[in-house]
Structure 1
Amino acid sequence: MQSQVVISGCSGGGKSTLLGELQRRGHVTVAEPGRRIIAEQIRLGGNALPWADMAAFLREALRVAAMDLEDISLDVGPVFFDRGLIDAAAALQRLFGVPLSQSLGESLPYGQLVFLAPPWPEIYCADEERKHGFTEAVAEYDHLDRTYRALGYEVRLLPRSSVADRSDFVLEAIHRR
């Protein structure tokens, strides 16, 4: 069984809800760096926000995701990450042309199996922290899908089903490995 599992994909695709269910079932989860950064930047009056300074926001997401990896003990069994280093690096590449190798280095930080939440218009909604529209969310998803596959990850698409079914899908897949 792999220890570090990334749940990535489309914004508004149900990733955080899935992580909440995995945590409820007793698994270790790591919250999305972006949401934590936004809350902190708003609290501090900072500008490393996606709608103010996207490049600064993504550089901070890289820093926070790297700290998350350092803070996690590999002895605790599977750890589920709501996004991570590769998501921030892929966004820097897509939006600012920064090569993945510059953001990631040579190592691939997570287990080989990655789960992607596909675009799901029926559940997508913008909020105070997710101000972009569905079209941008789909473009982000498409780039993440290509990036994870190009890096050699085995990508599994999450089914559009209940959160309980999605959790079962993820746990079955990682226990089969």
Structure 2
Amino acid sequence: METLNGDHISLRALEPEDLSFLKMIENDQAIWEVSHTQTPYSSYILKEYLKNSHKDIYEIKQLRLVIDHLEEAIGLIDLFDFDPKNKRAGVGVIIAAGANRNKGYGSEAVQLLIKYAFTYLGVHQLYCNISEDNRPSIQLFESCGFKQVGLKKDWNFINGDYKSEFLYQLIRP
């Protein structure tokens, strides 16, 4: 599908071979704050997740795609809380720690996902929630046209402290 192929990366469905990559991402405690994870995922749970990842977004209200660069998985991008009645969905993205960060791959992935969501799913708007101190994500989503529309004060309790969270939206032109 043309919509899911960019100049440097492509977005594709999860495959059983992605188990070790998925386990590395999901169990990276450095990003648990962003993913709201509190416990590690077992290989068994992730295998079961992969078995069901083929289900339709209209059924499970979520779509997770792998970000590929030169046929190597470098990240994940999600549509979540898909609401076909109100034509909206949340967006989340992660590029695995290491050499692939800060190269524009996250931005390209978000742009591809925007095009896919607006063109194929007919959504009217996309949104994301970003911690007030997550400058890289704020810059990423602002560079893709998202606008800050709200602040949820003391929204998340992280390491004994409350952090506020911004709400960003992109409404279809």
Higher relative contact order (CA 8 A, sep 6+): 1
Structure in which a larger fraction of residues adopt helix: 1
Structure in which a larger fraction of residues adopt strand: 2
TM-score (norm 2): 0.34
TM-score (norm 1): 0.34
